[in-house]
A and B are shown apart, each in its own frame.
Chain A
Amino acid sequence: MALVIQEVTKRYQNFVAVDNLSFTIEKGEIFGLIGQNGAGKTTTFRMILDLQETTAGTISWNGESIHAIDRDLLGYLPEERGIFPTMTVEDQLYFFGELRGRKKKELKEDVNYWIERFELEEKRKAKAETLSKGNQQKVQLIASFIHKPEFLILDEPFSGLDPVNKDLLKEAILFLKENGTTILFSSHQMENVEELCDHLCLLKRGVSLFSGSLLDLKKQYGKTKLTVRTDMAIEELTALPGVKDVTIGKEQYTLTLEDESYAKGIFDIVSKGDYIEKFSLDYLSLDEIFKDKVGGGNV
Chain B
Amino acid sequence: MSKFWILVKQLYKQKIKAKSFIFSILLYLVVISCVMFWSDIKEALFSEEPLKVAVLNDTDADFKALFTSSADVEFSFPKENESKVEKKVKDGDLDAAIFIQDKAGSLVAEIATFNPLKFNDQQSLSSSIQYAGKLYEVQQLNLTAEQADKILQSETMITTKNLNKEAAGGKSEDEKSAGIGASMIVGFIIYGFVMSFLSMITTDVASEKGSRVLEVLLASIKPVTHFLAKLTGTFLLAVTQIVILFAVQSLLFILVDGGEKWDTVIEVINSLSAGYVAYVLAFLILTILLFLIMGALLGSLVSKVEESGQAMMPAMMVGVGGFYVLLSGMYSPDTILVKVCSYIPFTSGMVMPLRIGATDIAASEPMISLGILIVTVVLLFMLSLSFYKRSVLTYSTGGIIQKIKTVLKVTT
B412 touches A13 (CB 8 A): yes
A98 touches B410 (CB 8 A): no
What is the distance, in angstroms, from A281's C-beta to the closest C-beta of chain B? 45
| A 17-70 contacts with B by CB, 8 A | 46, 49, 51-52
C-alpha spacing A46/B212, complex, angstroms: 13
* Chain A residues in 8 Å Cβ range of B3: 99
C-alpha spacing A84/B14, complex, angstroms: 10
B6 touches A98 (CB 8 A): yes
| A 68-102 contacts with B by CB, 8 A | 71-72, 74, 76-78, 80-87, 95-96, 98-100
What is the distance, in angstroms, from A2's C-beta to the closest C-beta of chain B? 17
| B10 interface hit (Cβ, 8 Å) | yes
C-alpha spacing A84/B220, complex, angstroms: 16
| B93 interface hit (Cβ, 8 Å) | no
* Chain A residues in 8 Å Cβ range of B213: 82-84
B6 touches A82 (CB 8 A): no
A87 touches B14 (CB 8 A): yes
What is the distance, in angstroms, from B258's C-beta to the closest C-beta of chain A? 44
Are A96 and B216 CB-contacts (below 8 A) given A13-B409, A52-B393, A85-B207? yes
C-alpha spacing A71/B7, complex, angstroms: 16
* Chain B residues in 8 Å Cβ range of A74: 219-220
| B327 interface hit (Cβ, 8 Å) | no
| B82 interface hit (Cβ, 8 Å) | no
B10 touches A144 (CB 8 A): no
Please, which residue of chain B has its CB at the minimum distance from the CB of A103? Answer: B1
* Chain A residues in 8 Å Cβ range of B194: none
C-alpha spacing A32/B410, complex, angstroms: 27
C-alpha spacing A96/B409, complex, angstroms: 32
Report the count of interface residues on B (CB-CB < 8 A). 23
What is the distance, in angstroms, from B302's C-beta to the closest C-beta of chain A? 15
B14 touches A86 (CB 8 A): yes
| B25 interface hit (Cβ, 8 Å) | no
A81 touches B212 (CB 8 A): yes
Please, which residue of chain B has its CB at the minimum distance from the CB of A86? Answer: B14
| B 212-228 contacts with A by CB, 8 A | 212-221
* Chain B residues in 8 Å Cβ range of A13: 409-410, 412
What is the distance, in angstroms, from A72's C-beta to the closest C-beta of chain B? 6
What is the distance, in angstroms, from A150's C-beta to the closest C-beta of chain B? 13
Among B218, B219, B221, the most chain A Cβ lie within 10 Å of the Cβ of: B219
| B 1-24 contacts with A by CB, 8 A | 1, 3, 6-7, 10, 14
* Chain B residues in 8 Å Cβ range of A95: 6, 10
Please, which residue of chain B has its CB at the minimum distance from the CB of A48? Answer: B219
A12 touches B409 (CB 8 A): yes
21 A-B residue pairs with Cβ-Cβ distance under 8 Å, sorted by A, are: A12-B410, A13-B409, A49-B218, A51-B393, A71-B220, A74-B220, A76-B216, A77-B216, A78-B212, A78-B215, A78-B216, A80-B212, A82-B213, A82-B214, A84-B14, A84-B208, A84-B211, A85-B207, A99-B217, A99-B221, A140-B216
Across the A-B interface, give the 8 residue pairs with the lowest CB-CB distance, nearest first. A82-B212, A82-B213, A76-B219, A80-B212, A78-B215, A49-B219, A71-B220, A82-B211
